Structure 1
Amino acid sequence: MKRIVLILACIYTLTGCSLDDDGASLSLSLAKITDAQMPDYFETGEVYNFPISYMPSNGCEEFYGFDVNREINGNVRHIYVFAVTARYLDRTDCDDPTEQEKELKNIVITGDENTEYVFHFWIGEENDEAQYLDITVPVGEPEATEE
C-alpha cells in the first residue's frame, strides 16, 4: 500500500507541472529620460518627489518603475536613475511612442549643509557607453549673492 501511495505521489508530482506556459512573456528595457524637474536646493530630513519625463522606444511599452542606484563619495551623493519599461511580447498593435511623465517618489535627504546630491539620469548610450543628464542639487539654501 505504501508503494502505491509513493508511486501515485511521484506520478502526480511529475505530471502536475506543465512545460507549456501559455502566459504572456514580459520584456523589460530602459527608456531614455528626457527631463527631470529638480529643486534649486534640498533641506536635510525632507522627503522629495520629482517629476521625470521619459520616452519609451515604442508604443507597446508601459512604465514598470525606476531603478535607482546610490554611491557616496565624501560629501557627494551620486544617484543614478533609470526609467524601466515593460512590454508583453504578444502585443503587436503598437502606436507611435509618446513622451510620458512619472514621479520618482520618497527620496529622503540625509546629508548636512556641506553635502551635494548629483543625479545622473540615463538618457541613452553612445558608442556602447552610458550617457547621463547630470543635475547637481546642494543641501541647504545657497547664500544669496549680492550684485
Structure 2
Amino acid sequence: MKKFIPLLVGLFFLSLASCELSDDDGTNFVYEAVEITNAKVPDTFELGKVYQIDFNYAIPTDCYIYNGFEFEPTDKTERAIFAISSVIERDDCKEIVDGEGTDSFNFEVRYTDTYTFNFYTGEDENGEKQYLTYEVPVKQSVRN
C-alpha cells in the first residue's frame, strides 16, 4: 500500500500538468462604438434635478453584444455619449434587420448653462465622428 500512494500522488500531479487551465476557446472580440439612432431628452432642465435620458442604439449583426455606454464630458456642460458593443470576430455573422436596443442614464443638472448632448452616430466618409446633438437650456427654479 505504501508503494501505491506515491504512484497515486505522481499520477495526480501528472494529470494536473496535462490539464489546460485556460477556458479560451479561441474566440476573439473587440469593443466598438455602435450607432445611437435617437435619444429622448427633456426640452428644458431645472437646476438641481435629476432626469432620465433614454436612447436607442443599432445592433447590425448577431456578432454584436451590447455592453453599455461611455459618457465623456467634453466641456463643463457638454457630453459625448457612445453605445459600446463587444464584436465577436467571426466570418459567419448574420445581419439583424431592425436590430435596435434601448438604454438610459440618470443625469443631474449642476450648472445653469445650456447642456449639449452629443450622441455618437458613426463616422463620415472622412473618418470624422458624427453626432446627434441636443441642446437643453436650464431654467431657474422660482422660489417664493
TM-score normalised per structure 1: 0.69
1:67 maps to 2:70 = yes
Question: How many aligned residue pairs are there?
Answer: 124
Query: Matched residue of 2:139: which SS?
Result: coil
Worse-matched range after superposition: 119-128 or 52-61: 52-61
1:41 maps to 2:60 = no
Structure 1 residue ranges without an equivalent (≥5): 1-14, 142-147
- C-alpha root-mean-square deviation of aligned residues, in Å? 2.8
1:94-133 → structure 2 map (5 Å cutoff):
94-112=94-112, 115-126=113-124, 127-133=126-132
Q: Deviations over 1:115-146 (max 9, x none)?
A: 111011111111111111111001116xxxxx
Write out the 4+ residue segments of structure 1 that deviate beyond 6 Å after TM superposition. none
Post-superposition offset of 1:33: 1.1
Q: Which has the larger radius of gyration?
A: 2
Query: Matched residue of 2:46: which SS?
Result: coil
Structure 2 residue ranges without an equivalent (≥5): 1-16
TM-score normalised per structure 2: 0.71
Worse-matched range after superposition: 87-96 or 97-106: 87-96
